[in-house]
Amino acid sequence: MVGEDNYKNNLAYIIGVSIGDGNLSNPNNRAVRLRITCDLKYKSVISEISNSLKQIFPNNKVSLVKRKDNCVDISCYSNKLEEILNWKAKEGSKFKQKVRVPNWVKENRSFTIKCLKGLFETDGSIYFDRKYKMANFVTTIPDLSQDIQEMIQSIGFKHSLQLYKSDNKKTKYTIRITKDIDNFIKTININKR
């Protein structure tokens, strides 16, 4: 059971990271590729993503490819990726496919925390507004917004939600945590290094 929990914790983290900054492709029509793009300044995050992928796919190569724009692509090939992530390489954007957090993640506190960590380390931010520390997560996917709000509440934190209609007619959902922020960062172990 310990091994299975470790596997699922790594998987929940990778699901969060992938929803945030990952994409699926099938360039050779043989194997699905997950590519997660990360700024090179986040060396610890890059290491954690790589190590988690190696734990999930111990027989598959995990590649790091440096790009010109101070980023690195962390990649792994597996035909299990579409089933694990619950979206398809060739069916359009995550928005079009209405990507969501799997129920098994939301039903377990440990997995919820790991997934939130992945989400906030990729598409989240920690910042100061008028000397007050805050964390937020932004998405244009309504169901994903709902998932994240439920997950934050399920681990005992309060959030606010702001909606903004952009020029492309998509609604942007900004989920913000403003109270007990240091405890939130510590609980989900956000690592922006």
> Chain-wide mean pLDDT for the chain?
92
- The number of CA neighbours under 13 Å toward the Cβ of 9 is 12
Quick one: pLDDT band at residue 24, thresholds 50, 70, 90?
very high
**Which of helix, strand or coil describes residue 117?**
helix
Residues 79-93 have a mean pLDDT of 92
Residues 15-24 have a mean pLDDT of 95
Quick one: pLDDT band at residue 1, thresholds 50, 70, 90?
very low
Domains of the chain in start order, with CATH, are 2-90 (3.10.28.10), 109-188 (3.10.28.10)
For residues 17 and 115, is the Cβ–Cβ distance under 8 A?
no
Residue 81: pLDDT over 90: yes
166-180 confidence digits (pLDDT tens): 777 889 999 999 899
Strands across the sheet with 33-39, in order?
A: 22-25, 33-39, 71-77, 62-66
The model's pTM is: 0.93
pLDDT of residue 50: 97
**In whole angstroms, what is the distance from residue 10 CA to residue 111 CA?**
9
51-77 confidence digits (pLDDT tens): 999 999 999 999 999 988 899 999 999
Single-letter amino acid, residue 74: I
Residue 78: pLDDT over 80: yes
State what percent of residues in the chain have pLDDT above 90: 79
**Which DSSP letter does residue 100 get?**
-
pLDDT of residue 2: 47
pLDDT of residue 68: 85
Single-letter amino acid, residue 134: M
Instruction: Work out the angle between the directed axes of helices 2-21 and 109-123 (0-180°, nearest 10).
Output: 30
Residues 76-97 have a mean pLDDT of 92
pLDDT of residue 119: 96
pLDDT of residue 168: 75
